[in-house]
Structure 1
Protein backbone atom coordinates (compact mmCIF):
# COMPACT_ATOMS: atom_id res chain seq x y z
CA UNK A 1 0.00 0.00 0.00
CA UNK A 2 1.32 3.47 -0.84
CA UNK A 3 2.26 5.95 1.87
CA UNK A 4 -0.30 8.38 0.47
CA UNK A 5 -3.06 5.80 0.81
CA UNK A 6 -1.95 5.00 4.36
CA UNK A 7 -1.89 8.69 5.31
CA UNK A 8 -5.30 9.28 3.68
CA UNK A 9 -6.93 6.37 5.51
CA UNK A 10 -5.34 7.29 8.84
CA UNK A 11 -6.43 10.91 8.49
CA UNK A 12 -10.00 9.81 7.77
CA UNK A 13 -10.02 7.40 10.72
CA UNK A 14 -8.58 9.93 13.17
CA UNK A 15 -11.00 12.61 11.93
CA UNK A 16 -13.95 10.59 13.27
CA UNK A 17 -12.62 10.65 16.84
CA UNK A 18 -11.29 14.20 16.55
CA UNK A 19 -14.73 15.44 15.46
CA UNK A 20 -16.34 13.74 18.46
CA UNK A 21 -13.79 15.22 20.87
CA UNK A 22 -14.06 18.75 19.47
CA UNK A 23 -17.84 18.49 19.56
CA UNK A 24 -17.77 17.99 23.33
CA UNK A 25 -16.09 21.32 24.05
CA UNK A 26 -18.53 23.75 25.65
CA UNK A 27 -18.22 27.20 24.06
CA UNK A 28 -18.55 28.81 27.49
CA UNK A 29 -15.31 27.09 28.61
CA UNK A 30 -13.06 28.43 25.82
CA UNK A 31 -11.02 30.58 28.24
CA UNK A 32 -10.40 27.70 30.68
CA UNK A 33 -6.94 26.24 31.07
CA UNK A 34 -5.71 23.64 33.58
CA UNK A 35 -2.48 25.50 34.35
CA UNK A 36 -1.04 28.92 33.59
CA UNK A 37 1.49 27.36 31.20
CA UNK A 38 -1.16 25.30 29.42
CA UNK A 39 -3.08 26.44 26.39
CA UNK A 40 -6.64 27.56 26.85
CA UNK A 41 -9.30 25.23 25.50
CA UNK A 42 -9.85 27.73 22.68
CA UNK A 43 -6.17 27.74 21.71
CA UNK A 44 -5.88 23.95 21.93
CA UNK A 45 -9.09 23.40 19.93
CA UNK A 46 -7.93 25.85 17.26
CA UNK A 47 -4.57 24.09 17.05
CA UNK A 48 -6.25 20.68 16.69
CA UNK A 49 -8.52 22.12 14.00
CA UNK A 50 -5.53 23.53 12.14
CA UNK A 51 -3.30 20.46 12.17
CA UNK A 52 -4.80 18.64 9.14
CA UNK A 53 -4.06 21.80 7.15
CA UNK A 54 -0.38 21.31 7.86
CA UNK A 55 -0.50 18.30 5.54
CA UNK A 56 -1.54 20.59 2.70
CA UNK A 57 1.18 23.10 3.62
CA UNK A 58 3.85 20.38 3.70
CA UNK A 59 2.82 19.00 0.31
CA UNK A 60 2.52 22.45 -1.29
CA UNK A 61 5.71 24.04 0.09
CA UNK A 62 9.30 23.20 0.95
CA UNK A 63 9.41 25.00 4.28
CA UNK A 64 7.70 27.06 6.94
CA UNK A 65 9.68 30.06 8.09
CA UNK A 66 8.03 31.63 11.13
CA UNK A 67 9.75 34.94 10.34
CA UNK A 68 8.25 35.09 6.86
CA UNK A 69 4.69 33.85 7.19
CA UNK A 70 1.43 35.71 6.82
CA UNK A 71 -0.54 32.99 8.61
CA UNK A 72 -2.63 34.17 11.53
CA UNK A 73 -4.56 31.94 13.90
CA UNK A 74 -8.30 32.35 13.35
CA UNK A 75 -10.42 33.74 16.16
CA UNK A 76 -12.83 30.87 16.79
CA UNK A 77 -15.36 31.49 19.55
CA UNK A 78 -17.82 28.61 19.44
CA UNK A 79 -17.72 24.84 19.19
CA UNK A 80 -19.47 25.12 15.83
CA UNK A 81 -16.74 27.45 14.51
CA UNK A 82 -14.03 25.04 15.68
CA UNK A 83 -15.76 22.11 13.97
CA UNK A 84 -16.21 24.08 10.74
CA UNK A 85 -12.53 25.10 10.81
CA UNK A 86 -11.50 21.48 11.37
CA UNK A 87 -13.66 20.31 8.45
CA UNK A 88 -12.16 22.93 6.13
CA UNK A 89 -8.64 21.99 7.22
CA UNK A 90 -9.46 18.31 6.72
CA UNK A 91 -10.87 18.99 3.26
CA UNK A 92 -7.63 20.75 2.22
CA UNK A 93 -5.50 17.90 3.54
CA UNK A 94 -7.54 15.25 1.71
CA UNK A 95 -7.38 17.21 -1.55
CA UNK A 96 -3.60 17.66 -1.30
CA UNK A 97 -3.08 14.00 -0.51
CA UNK A 98 -5.27 12.98 -3.46
CA UNK A 99 -3.13 15.11 -5.79
CA UNK A 100 0.26 14.10 -4.34
CA UNK A 101 2.65 11.50 -5.68
CA UNK A 102 4.91 9.14 -3.75
CA UNK A 103 8.15 10.72 -5.02
CA UNK A 104 7.13 14.06 -3.54
CA UNK A 105 7.11 12.47 -0.07
CA UNK A 106 10.89 11.94 -0.22
CA UNK A 107 11.62 15.66 -0.63
CA UNK A 108 13.02 17.55 2.35
CA UNK A 109 10.78 20.00 4.20
CA UNK A 110 12.24 22.56 6.62
CA UNK A 111 10.79 24.20 9.72
CA UNK A 112 12.66 27.36 10.63
CA UNK A 113 12.60 30.85 12.01
CA UNK A 114 14.96 32.83 9.84
CA UNK A 115 18.41 31.27 10.13
CA UNK A 116 17.41 29.02 13.04
CA UNK A 117 16.47 25.62 11.64
CA UNK A 118 14.26 23.55 13.94
CA UNK A 119 13.77 20.55 11.71
CA UNK A 120 14.64 19.16 8.29
CA UNK A 121 12.76 15.97 7.46
CA UNK A 122 11.20 14.32 4.48
CA UNK A 123 7.68 15.40 3.67
CA UNK A 124 6.52 11.89 4.59
CA UNK A 125 8.09 12.23 8.04
CA UNK A 126 6.47 15.63 8.58
CA UNK A 127 3.05 14.31 7.50
CA UNK A 128 3.48 11.45 9.99
CA UNK A 129 4.32 14.06 12.66
CA UNK A 130 1.17 16.02 11.74
CA UNK A 131 -0.97 12.91 12.20
CA UNK A 132 0.77 12.18 15.50
CA UNK A 133 0.18 15.76 16.63
CA UNK A 134 -3.55 15.45 15.95
CA UNK A 135 -3.71 12.37 18.19
CA UNK A 136 -1.45 13.91 20.85
CA UNK A 137 -3.37 17.17 21.16
CA UNK A 138 -6.71 15.39 20.95
CA UNK A 139 -5.65 13.29 23.96
CA UNK A 140 -4.61 16.49 25.71
CA UNK A 141 -8.12 17.84 25.07
CA UNK A 142 -9.50 14.66 26.60
CA UNK A 143 -7.65 15.47 29.81
CA UNK A 144 -9.02 19.03 29.75
CA UNK A 145 -12.56 17.72 29.34
CA UNK A 146 -12.09 15.12 32.05
CA UNK A 147 -10.88 17.84 34.46
CA UNK A 148 -14.07 19.77 33.67
CA UNK A 149 -16.12 16.59 34.32
CA UNK A 150 -17.29 16.46 30.71
CA UNK A 151 -17.75 12.91 29.39
CA UNK A 152 -15.17 12.05 26.76
CA UNK A 153 -15.69 9.90 23.68
CA UNK A 154 -13.68 6.76 23.12
CA UNK A 155 -10.78 6.87 20.70
CA UNK A 156 -9.95 3.29 19.76
CA UNK A 157 -12.82 1.70 21.64
CA UNK A 158 -15.37 2.92 24.14
CA UNK A 159 -14.41 5.31 26.93
CA UNK A 160 -15.41 4.68 30.53
CA UNK A 161 -18.04 7.38 30.02
CA UNK A 162 -19.64 5.41 27.21
CA UNK A 163 -19.89 2.10 29.08
CA UNK A 164 -20.63 1.99 32.77
CA UNK A 165 -19.72 -1.67 32.82
CA UNK A 166 -16.10 -0.59 32.24
CA UNK A 167 -15.97 1.26 35.56
CA UNK A 168 -14.46 -1.00 38.25
CA UNK A 169 -17.13 -2.45 40.56
CA UNK A 170 -15.47 -0.91 43.64
CA UNK A 171 -16.00 2.59 42.20
CA UNK A 172 -19.69 2.05 41.49
CA UNK A 173 -20.24 0.55 44.96
CA UNK A 174 -18.45 3.46 46.63
CA UNK A 175 -20.67 5.92 44.76
CA UNK A 176 -23.83 4.20 46.08
Structure 2
Protein backbone atom coordinates (compact mmCIF):
# COMPACT_ATOMS: atom_id res chain seq x y z
CA UNK A 1 0.00 0.00 0.00
CA UNK A 2 2.76 2.48 0.91
CA UNK A 3 4.77 1.36 -2.10
CA UNK A 4 1.86 2.09 -4.44
CA UNK A 5 1.51 5.61 -3.00
CA UNK A 6 5.25 6.24 -3.35
CA UNK A 7 5.24 4.87 -6.89
CA UNK A 8 2.27 7.00 -7.96
CA UNK A 9 3.93 10.16 -6.68
CA UNK A 10 7.26 9.10 -8.17
CA UNK A 11 5.77 8.64 -11.66
CA UNK A 12 3.87 11.93 -11.60
CA UNK A 13 6.80 13.94 -10.26
CA UNK A 14 9.34 12.29 -12.58
CA UNK A 15 7.25 13.52 -15.52
CA UNK A 16 7.29 17.03 -14.04
CA UNK A 17 11.05 16.82 -13.54
CA UNK A 18 11.45 15.63 -17.13
CA UNK A 19 9.45 18.61 -18.46
CA UNK A 20 11.54 21.02 -16.40
CA UNK A 21 14.88 19.55 -17.49
CA UNK A 22 13.75 19.53 -21.13
CA UNK A 23 12.97 23.26 -20.83
CA UNK A 24 16.62 24.17 -20.20
CA UNK A 25 18.32 25.68 -23.26
CA UNK A 26 22.06 25.19 -23.65
CA UNK A 27 22.44 28.96 -23.44
CA UNK A 28 21.34 28.89 -19.78
CA UNK A 29 23.67 26.12 -18.58
CA UNK A 30 26.44 28.44 -17.32
CA UNK A 31 24.12 30.85 -15.49
CA UNK A 32 24.37 31.06 -11.72
CA UNK A 33 22.63 33.69 -9.60
CA UNK A 34 25.66 34.31 -7.38
CA UNK A 35 29.20 33.14 -6.80
CA UNK A 36 28.12 30.66 -4.11
CA UNK A 37 25.45 28.97 -6.26
CA UNK A 38 25.76 26.15 -8.73
CA UNK A 39 25.39 26.84 -12.42
CA UNK A 40 22.16 25.79 -14.09
CA UNK A 41 23.99 22.80 -15.55
CA UNK A 42 25.33 21.74 -12.16
CA UNK A 43 21.93 22.15 -10.51
CA UNK A 44 20.16 20.21 -13.27
CA UNK A 45 22.82 17.50 -13.05
CA UNK A 46 22.27 17.25 -9.30
CA UNK A 47 18.52 16.86 -9.85
CA UNK A 48 19.20 14.01 -12.28
CA UNK A 49 21.66 12.45 -9.85
CA UNK A 50 19.25 12.30 -6.90
CA UNK A 51 17.43 9.50 -8.73
CA UNK A 52 20.68 7.54 -8.59
CA UNK A 53 20.42 7.52 -4.77
CA UNK A 54 17.28 5.35 -4.69
CA UNK A 55 19.19 2.07 -4.64
CA UNK A 56 21.32 3.00 -1.63
CA UNK A 57 18.37 4.53 0.19
CA UNK A 58 15.97 1.65 -0.36
CA UNK A 59 18.44 -1.25 -0.14
CA UNK A 60 21.15 -0.27 2.35
CA UNK A 61 20.88 0.66 6.01
CA UNK A 62 23.90 2.96 5.77
CA UNK A 63 24.53 5.22 2.79
CA UNK A 64 28.24 6.05 2.81
CA UNK A 65 28.70 9.29 0.89
CA UNK A 66 32.45 8.87 1.33
CA UNK A 67 32.46 5.94 -1.10
CA UNK A 68 29.65 7.16 -3.37
CA UNK A 69 30.75 7.78 -6.95
CA UNK A 70 28.95 10.81 -8.39
CA UNK A 71 28.76 10.61 -12.18
CA UNK A 72 27.38 13.89 -13.48
CA UNK A 73 28.34 13.00 -17.02
CA UNK A 74 28.80 15.66 -19.68
CA UNK A 75 26.81 18.72 -18.60
CA UNK A 76 27.89 20.90 -21.52
CA UNK A 77 24.56 20.23 -23.28
CA UNK A 78 21.10 20.09 -21.75
CA UNK A 79 20.25 16.97 -23.74
CA UNK A 80 23.08 15.12 -21.96
CA UNK A 81 21.58 16.02 -18.58
CA UNK A 82 18.16 14.81 -19.74
CA UNK A 83 19.77 11.55 -20.93
CA UNK A 84 21.41 11.05 -17.51
CA UNK A 85 18.05 11.79 -15.86
CA UNK A 86 16.34 9.17 -18.06
CA UNK A 87 18.99 6.59 -17.17
CA UNK A 88 18.77 7.31 -13.45
CA UNK A 89 14.97 7.60 -13.27
CA UNK A 90 14.56 4.19 -14.97
CA UNK A 91 16.85 2.59 -12.37
CA UNK A 92 15.08 4.40 -9.53
CA UNK A 93 11.67 3.21 -10.75
CA UNK A 94 12.89 -0.37 -10.82
CA UNK A 95 14.33 -0.04 -7.30
CA UNK A 96 11.04 1.36 -6.01
CA UNK A 97 8.98 -1.34 -7.75
CA UNK A 98 11.20 -4.07 -6.30
CA UNK A 99 11.38 -2.58 -2.82
CA UNK A 100 10.15 -4.48 0.22
CA UNK A 101 7.61 -2.52 2.27
CA UNK A 102 8.66 -4.56 5.32
CA UNK A 103 11.93 -2.58 5.35
CA UNK A 104 10.36 0.89 5.14
CA UNK A 105 10.51 1.38 8.90
CA UNK A 106 14.04 0.00 9.34
CA UNK A 107 16.60 2.43 10.70
CA UNK A 108 18.66 4.19 8.04
CA UNK A 109 21.53 6.67 8.26
CA UNK A 110 24.02 8.51 6.09
CA UNK A 111 27.71 8.60 6.89
CA UNK A 112 30.87 10.00 5.41
CA UNK A 113 34.29 9.01 6.65
CA UNK A 114 32.76 7.40 9.74
CA UNK A 115 30.86 10.57 10.65
CA UNK A 116 27.07 10.54 10.74
CA UNK A 117 25.60 13.11 8.35
CA UNK A 118 21.94 12.12 8.73
CA UNK A 119 20.94 10.87 12.16
CA UNK A 120 19.33 7.42 12.23
CA UNK A 121 15.69 7.57 11.14
CA UNK A 122 13.12 5.26 9.56
CA UNK A 123 13.81 4.59 5.89
CA UNK A 124 10.37 5.89 4.87
CA UNK A 125 11.22 9.27 6.40
CA UNK A 126 14.43 9.36 4.39
CA UNK A 127 12.58 8.43 1.19
CA UNK A 128 10.13 11.30 1.68
CA UNK A 129 12.72 13.91 2.71
CA UNK A 130 16.10 12.97 1.24
CA UNK A 131 14.74 11.70 -2.08
CA UNK A 132 11.35 13.24 -2.83
CA UNK A 133 11.32 16.61 -1.03
CA UNK A 134 14.97 17.19 -1.87
CA UNK A 135 14.11 16.91 -5.57
CA UNK A 136 11.18 19.28 -5.24
CA UNK A 137 13.38 21.84 -3.47
CA UNK A 138 15.96 21.82 -6.26
CA UNK A 139 13.29 21.91 -8.96
CA UNK A 140 12.03 25.13 -7.38
CA UNK A 141 15.51 26.57 -7.60
CA UNK A 142 15.72 25.52 -11.24
CA UNK A 143 12.44 27.30 -11.99
CA UNK A 144 14.00 30.51 -10.60
CA UNK A 145 17.14 29.96 -12.70
CA UNK A 146 15.03 29.55 -15.85
CA UNK A 147 13.00 32.67 -15.08
CA UNK A 148 16.18 34.62 -14.31
CA UNK A 149 17.57 33.79 -17.74
CA UNK A 150 14.37 34.80 -19.52
CA UNK A 151 13.28 31.27 -20.34
CA UNK A 152 9.82 29.76 -20.21
CA UNK A 153 8.85 27.45 -17.38
CA UNK A 154 6.60 24.47 -17.97
CA UNK A 155 3.59 23.95 -15.73
CA UNK A 156 4.30 21.38 -13.05
CA UNK A 157 1.09 21.66 -11.02
CA UNK A 158 -1.02 23.55 -13.51
CA UNK A 159 -0.41 26.34 -16.01
CA UNK A 160 2.29 28.97 -15.58
CA UNK A 161 2.37 32.60 -16.67
CA UNK A 162 3.88 31.32 -19.94
CA UNK A 163 0.73 29.39 -20.82
CA UNK A 164 -2.00 31.03 -22.85
CA UNK A 165 -5.51 30.61 -21.49
| TM-score exceeds 0.5 | yes
- Partner of residue 149, structure 2: 148
Q: What SS does the corresponding residue of 1:106 show, helix, strand or coil?
A: coil
- Partner of residue 87, structure 2: 88
Deviation digits for residues 2-58 of structure 1 (CA, Å, limit 9, x no counterpart) = 111111110100111111110111113222101111111111000111112222221
Q: Residue 114 of structure 1: CA displacement?
A: 1.9
| TM-score (norm: length of structure 1) | 0.86
Q: Residue 78 of structure 1: CA displacement?
A: 1.3
Q: Does 1:38 align with 2:28?
A: no
- Partner of residue 158, structure 2: 157
Q: Kindly name which structure, 1 or 2, has the bigger radius of gyration based on alpha carbons.
A: 1
- Partner of residue 63, structure 2: 64
Q: Does 1:126 align with 2:105?
A: no
Q: Residue 93 of structure 1: CA displacement?
A: 1.1
- Taking the aligned partners of 1:22 and 1:62, their CA distance within structure 2 comes to 31
Q: How many residues were matched structurally?
A: 163
Deviation digits for residues 52-85 of structure 1 (CA, Å, limit 9, x no counterpart) = 2222221122222232334443332211111111
CA contact 1:64–1:112 (8 Å) conserved in 2: yes
- Taking the aligned partners of 2:161 and 2:70, their CA distance within structure 1 comes to 39
Q: Which runs of 5+ in 2 are unaligned?
A: none
Q: CA RMSD for the aligned pairs?
A: 1.5
- Partner of residue 174, structure 1: none
Q: Which runs of 5+ in 1 are unaligned?
A: 166-176
| TM-score (norm: length of structure 2) | 0.91
Runs of 4+ in 1 over 6 A off after TM superposition: none
